[in-house]
Structure 1
C-alpha cells in the first residue's frame, strides 16, 4: 500500500503533495495551506522523530517555528503533522530581496543561538558529527551532489582525512563557543514574508542541537552565495551577519572546515 495513503486517509482533510526530501521523506501541504504533513518510511522514522522532539522542545522558547499537531506511527513508517510557517522560502527570493530580508533572518538564527545550553537536551557536537561522517564514508554513501565541484572526484576517505587533520584544533574552538544551533540553516529553511521581506520563522529543525556556532554560520553564508548578483551583496550580507554577533574578525578557515565536514554527514 502507498505510504502516503496509509497516513493521509486518517487525517480527514485534503492534502497536496509538495516535495520529496533527500532523506526519502514525502511532504504534503493541507489544502487550506495551514499545515504540512511530513511522512517518513520506516528506515527514516528515527530522524523524523528527532524533528518532532525538537519542535516540541522549542515551543514557548522565542523561536518562530512549526508547532506539532499530531504524530502517527505505523509499521510502514511515521507521519508528523505540523503548522505551516507563512511566507516563501528565502531560496525563492532575488538577491536584492534576500539582502533586505537578511537582517531579520540573522535575528531568527540568533534566537536559536541564544537558547539556554543547560536546558537543551539535544547534541550535535563536532565529535558526534565526525563519527557520523566516518560512518557515511565507510558506507561510501556521500552524495556527490552535496560536494563542491573541486571535491566531487576526490576519494571519500581522502575528504574525511582532511577533516581529521583539523579535528583537534576545531574541538578546542568548539569548547569555547558552544551554542544551540539550527543544524541546517540553508535558504530553503528560512521562511520570509513576500510582502514585508521579514523572516517569519525557521523550518526543518531536525538537526538542532549543541554545536559550534560556526557550523551554522558557514552553511548560512555558503547557501546564500548563489543568490547574490554581485560581490558587494555577498560582502554586505557577510558583514551584517558577523557584526550582529559581535565578531570583528571572522575565522574564514573555521568556516571552510565546517563546509567541508557537512557534506560528509548526509547519507
Structure 2
C-alpha cells in the first residue's frame, strides 16, 4: 500500500472558530485507512509546527470520538499515544485534534522491509506485553467480551455490520451466523488485562525497529488478552504464518487457546 493509497489531499473542512484558529496555515489530507464511519485528516506542512491529526464525526461516531479522547488522556500516563490538543463536542458532533505519533505504521514497515520482519514482530510483541502489564485496577474502562457482545448485538440489530468485509474464513456468512458461532464458543475463562482493543498493524507506529506509540485508542479497556492477540495474529497472516507463530511465542503464548482466538476474530467482524 503506497502513501497515495493511504491518503489524499483535500480542502479544509468547516470547523468551530476555536479549532479553526488552531489549524491555520496547515495543508490538509484525508486518511483513507480505517476511518470506521468518521473522517480522519492529517494536517501538515506548516513551517515550524508539528503534524496534527483531526478526527470528526456525527451521531454514534461522535460518541466513539469522545470515548477515544477520554482514553487517550488516561493511556498517556502509561504508554506513548497522541497528545490531545483540543476536543469539542455538541449534542451530535465531535472534533478531536491530536499530535501525530512519529514513524511509519507496522504495516508499512513489514511491507517495505521483508528482511526486518522478525525484528518488527518482536517489537510489536514487546509493546503489547508493556500494555498488558498495566495494572487492571488502574484502568477505569471495561471492554470485556460481555460488553462488546452487547455492542455487537446492537450493531447487528441496526444493520450496521458490513458483511461484505468479513475475513475469508467467513466469506458469505451473515452477521447472524457469526453471532451464533460465537455463542457456541462461550463461556470462556477470563484472563483480564488492559487491552488496546484494535491492536492492528495500522495502529502501531515504529522507527528503527522500535514502537513509538499506538493510535486509535477508542476501545481501550479491561478485556481478555486475546482481544489484542487475535487481531494482530490475524493481521500478520497477510504476510507469513511464521510471523504469527513468532509473535505469539515472543509475547509468551506459545500454547494457543484456539477457542479464544476464534471467538475474538469473529467478535471483531462485528465492528
Q: Same fold (TM over 0.5)?
A: yes
* In structure 2, distance between residues paired with 1:99 and 1:182: 22
- 1:109 counterpart residue number: 128
Q: Report what 1:69 is aligned to.
A: 85
1:4 aligns with 2:13: yes
Q: 1:30 aligns with which of 34, 40, 44?
A: 44
Match status 1:78 vs 2:87? no
Q: 2:245–2:254: 8 Å Cα contact kept in structure 1? A: no
Distance 1:43 1:28 in 2: 22
* 1:162-193 Cα shifts (integer Å, max 9, x gaps): 1111122x2xx12xx11000000111001111
**Matched-pair contact (CA < 8 Å) for 2:53–2:100:** yes
Tell me the SS of whatever aligns to 1:154.
coil
2:52 touches 2:97 (CA, 8 Å); kept in 1?
yes
Structure 1 residue 87 and structure 2 residue 113: aligned? no
Q: How does 1:172-211 map to 2 (within 5 A)?
A: 173-174=189-190, 177-193=191-207, 196-211=208-223
- Match of 2:42, SS state, is strand
Q: Is the 8 A contact 1:108 1:202 kept in 2?
A: no
RMSD: 2.1
Q: Does 1:252 align with 2:258?
A: yes
1:59 — aligned with what? 76
What corresponds to 1:231 in structure 2?
A: none
Whether the 8 Å CA contact 1:125–1:210 is kept in 2: the answer is yes
* Residue 248 (structure 2) aligns with: 242
Separation in 2, partners of 1:48, 1:148: 26
1:137-176, aligned counterparts within 5 Å?
A: 137-168=156-187, 170=188, 173-174=189-190
Structure 1, gaps ≥5 residues long = 229-233
SS in structure 2 of the partner of residue 217 of structure 1: helix
CA contact (8 A) 2:38 2:57 kept: yes
Larger relative contact order, structure 1 or 2 (CA cutoff 8 Å, min sep 6): 1
Please give the alpha-carbon distance, in whole angstroms, between the structure 1 residues aligned to 2:145 and 2:60.
Answer: 25
Secondary structure of the residue aligned to 1:37 is: strand
For 1:102 and 1:181, locate their aligned partners in 2 and report how far apart those are by CA, in whole Å.
18
Q: Per the alignment, do residues 258 and 113 of structure 1 end up closer, same or farther by CA in structure 2, a change over 3 Å counting?
A: same
Partner of 2:228: 216
Rounded Cα–Cα distance in structure 1 between residues aligned with 2:183 and 2:224? 16
Count of aligned positions? 250
> TM-score normalised to the size of structure 2?
0.84
Unaligned runs of 5+ in 2: 1-10
SS of corresponding position for 2:143 = coil
Of stretches 66-75 and 50-59 in structure 1, the one that deviates more from structure 2 is 66-75
Mapped to 2, the partners of 1:156 and 1:39 lie a distance apart of 27
The 3 A distance-change label for structure 1 pair 190 and 143 is same
More helix by share: 1
1:39 equivalenced with 2:51 (yes/no):
no
Query: How far did residue 46 of structure 1 move?
Result: 0.9
